[in-house]
Amino acid sequence: MMLALEARAKADDIIIGDTPKAKQRRKRLAGMTPAGRLWKHSTLRDIDGIVDVSAMQDYFVFTIVRNPWDRMVSYDHWARE
């Protein structure tokens, strides 16, 4: 899904993750001071300090829920490592 959305990213958008475009833009994150950890599962609270709270209120936010079985298998593989 991120690869599909990444194609629509504007030049000044911040992309966090491990997709090709996100890797190219990692340098932009270097000088930022977020409230939490910046990673592909960051919450809105984590990015406080990077994005103005008043700007966040205007954002369109959506969530994609992963297949529960696939999620548990993935978690099991992650936990074993």
Q: What would the pLDDT profile of 1-41 be if each residue is shown by its tens digit? A: 777 888 888 888 888 888 888 889 888 888 888 999 888 78
* Whole-angstrom distance, CA of residue 18 vs CA of residue 39: 9
**pTM of the entire structure?**
0.57
Instruction: Round to whole Å and give the CA distance between 43 and 61.
Output: 11
* 30-50 pLDDT tens trace: 888 899 988 878 888 898 888
The amino acid occupying position 62 is: F
Asked whether residue 73 carries a pLDDT value surpassing 80, the answer given is yes
Helix, strand, coil: what percent of the chain each, to 5?
Answer: 40, 0, 60
pLDDT of amino acid 35:
92
Nearest-angstrom CA–CA distance, 60 and 37: 22
Domain residue limits, the chain: 2-80
